[in-house]
Structure 1
Amino acid sequence: MYWGVKDTEIAYIIVFDIYHNTVLQHEWKVKNNAINIPIADFEKRVYTLTIKSQVQRVAAKFYKQWCLIQTKSAAKYIDWII
């Protein structure tokens, strides 16, 4: 999903759950207008993402869900951001 983030040396990333509890708070460098946020351990629910830097502020909601897919070797769980 495209969040519209811009390259910056330091971006403050905060993820809140639906009750506005902080689930993740970290500082990352944004490179190539992209950022990877580790959500594998998040529960299946709606979250609010806030990215703050010197050049911008981005806020968005996303829904974390998982599904089970069957491959030739084994079943795998996949995380999705919608």
Structure 2
Amino acid sequence: MDESRKQFLEWFGEEFESINNSEELHVQAIKMIAWQSWVKSRAAIEIKLDDKVMAEDDFDKGHNCAIDYCADAIRAAGIKVKE
């Protein structure tokens, strides 16, 4: 399960605790609609990170590596990173 789905399920469970575990069809439909709304809202967000620098020394390599790590973490949360 991706990080975005986990975050959604945690939020939904806290926000709608009384219906979260219901197996009733209308409740499942509401949950599915809420999930699609969550996905679409995340898809609309795009993060622009700093440009990488020419790697002339270890500091520059670390700078570029940090940008890669940030991009990976952002994508894991279901958010796009502008290339």
TM-score range, shorter chain: under 0.3
Larger radius of gyration: 2
Which is helix-richer, 1 or 2? Answer: 2
Question: With CA pairs under 8 Å and 6+ residues apart, which has the higher RCO, 1 or 2?
Answer: 2
Instruction: Pick the structure with more strand per residue.
Output: 1
Q: Normalised by the size of structure 1, how large is the TM-score?
A: 0.22
